[in-house]
Structure 1
Amino acid sequence: MITLPGVLAQIADVAGEDAALAIAEARGGTQVYIPPVPGADHWLTKLIGREAARAVADELTCGVGGLRVDLPLGPTGHAAQMRARIDAMIQEGRSERDIALCTGYSTRTIRRRRARLGKDGDDRQMSLF
């Protein structure tokens, strides 16, 4: 199960993770209008189906009125994909320099990412936080 940010987590709770990911991929990074009852021709209904679209609309609008929502990119965004690529290269044991050259990121960024993943230092040492 993927950890989704903000409104995408709400959407996943009522319509499923696949619906939330489809919405993030189709409209992530933009502001969208969610009507209280999406019609058959609304983009949300076409994307995830009538029942799921109504569940999302009920969750976000409470059936009262339409709502403009800023949709995050979520795991479908470029940054998330690059983090996943960097993480995979770190797991493979590739050097910071090699990863930096392959991804276009600085070695400093790669070093910070490696530290965040807990790959620096002794694996037997537990984190204090």
Structure 2
Amino acid sequence: MNKTSLPGVLAEIAEIAGVEAAWALVSAQGGIVVYIPAEAKEGHWLTELVGIEAAEKICKHFSVGNTGNRIQIPMGKFIQSRERLVKALEAGMTASQAALSAGMHERSAYRARKRIKNQKQGSFFD
């Protein structure tokens, strides 16, 4: 999985601290709101999880002035399902087939197919 296929906050984390750090957060804290302190410290759960360098980058990015910030960590299962959905659509499956194979709603498949189409058209005109 690359940085661009990650949603919102995970894409930000992947950009500043690496994809491994983003996935570590998903694995450990996916689906909940976590407090990211303004400064990384030894012994803090974030530092223990991703290492001091990555934790420092994450803390600096999400801090608000001299205070930390609360962020929602997306659930990994949804991200992986979305990837399977996109791959199935790109392989030529119908929206119904892709939704079944990814374990998602058919509406999600139609929306994903529209996004894929728009991205391809956008790159054509760039």
Decide: shared fold, TM above 0.5: yes
Please list every run of 5 or more consecutive structure 1 residues that lacks an aligned counterpart in the other structure.
none
Instruction: Kindly state the Cα deviation for residue 107 of structure 1 after the two structures are TM-superposed.
Output: 4.5
Which residue is equivalent to 2:34? 32
Q: Given the two structures, how large is their TM-score scaled by the length of structure 1? A: 0.64
8 Å contact 1:5–1:72 — kept in the other structure?
no
Native 8 Å contact 1:31 1:68 kept in 2: no
Is 2:70 aligned against 1:69?
A: yes
Residues 19 and 85 (structure 1), Cα distance of their counterparts in 2 relative to 1, 3 Å cut: same
What SS does structure 2 have at the residue aligned with 1:117?
helix
Closer, same or farther: CA 5–95 of 1 in aligned 2, 3 Å:
closer
Q: Distance in 1 between matches of 2:97 and 2:66?
A: 54
What displacement does 1:33 show? 1.8
Larger radius of gyration: 1
1:18 to 14, 17, 20: 20
How many residues in Structure 1 have an aligned counterpart in Structure 2? 121
Structure 1 residues 47 and 95, CA, compared in 2 at 3 Å: closer, same or farther?
same
Conserved 8 A contact 1:100-1:106: yes
Identity of aligned residues (%): 37
| 2:72 alignment partner AA | L
- Aligned-partner SS, 1:59: helix
> 1:78-110 CA deviation, whole Å, 9 max, x = no partner?
332222212222233234443344445454543
AA aligned to 2:83 is A
Q: Evaluate the alpha carbon distance shift between residue 104 and residue 56 of structure 1 in structure 2; reply closer, same or farther with a 3 A threshold.
A: closer
Q: CA deviation at 1:46?
A: 0.7
| Structure in which a larger fraction of residues adopt helix | 2
> What is the CA–CA distance in structure 2 between the aligned matches of 1:86 and 1:6, rounded to whole Å?
18
Q: How does the TM-score come out when normalised to structure 2?
A: 0.65
Where does the alignment leave 5 or more consecutive residues of structure 2 unmatched?
none
Amino acid at match of 1:17: V
- Aligned CA RMSD, in angstroms, stands at 3.4
